[in-house]
Amino acid sequence: DKSTFRTKSVCVLNAGSAIVSGTNTRSRADGSIMSVGGVSYMLGTTSEGWRIFSFASHPPDKLLDCADG
């Protein structure tokens, strides 16, 4: 079994934080799909580089989208 994350958007909030939103598809070894869900990851920089510090699961049709302005 495996999971595949597909990125829809990357929202850079500032030099040290960002939100990445997309879908996570869980597949069986035979290739059949077990589930598809939405997920958004909150990232921040550390002395070791970018790290995920939190996430939120949500329906796949409720992904975050970035808007400047």
Identify the pLDDT of residue 41: 97
| pLDDT level of residue 67 (50, 70, 90 thresholds) | confident
pLDDT digits (tens, 9 = 90+) for 5-46: 999 999 999 999 999 999 999 999 999 999 999 999 999 999
Q: How far apart are CA 31 and CA 5, in angstroms?
A: 15
pTM of the model: 0.84
Domain boundaries, the chain: 2-58
Residue that the structure tokens 């290739």 belong to: 31
Q: 2-58 sits in which CATH class?
A: alpha beta
At a CB cut-off of 8 Å and minimum separation 6, what does 19 contact? Answer: 10, 11, 13, 40, 41, 42, 43, 64
Question: Does the pLDDT value for residue 63 go beyond 80?
Answer: yes
At a CB cut-off of 8 Å and minimum separation 6, what does 29 contact? Answer: 1
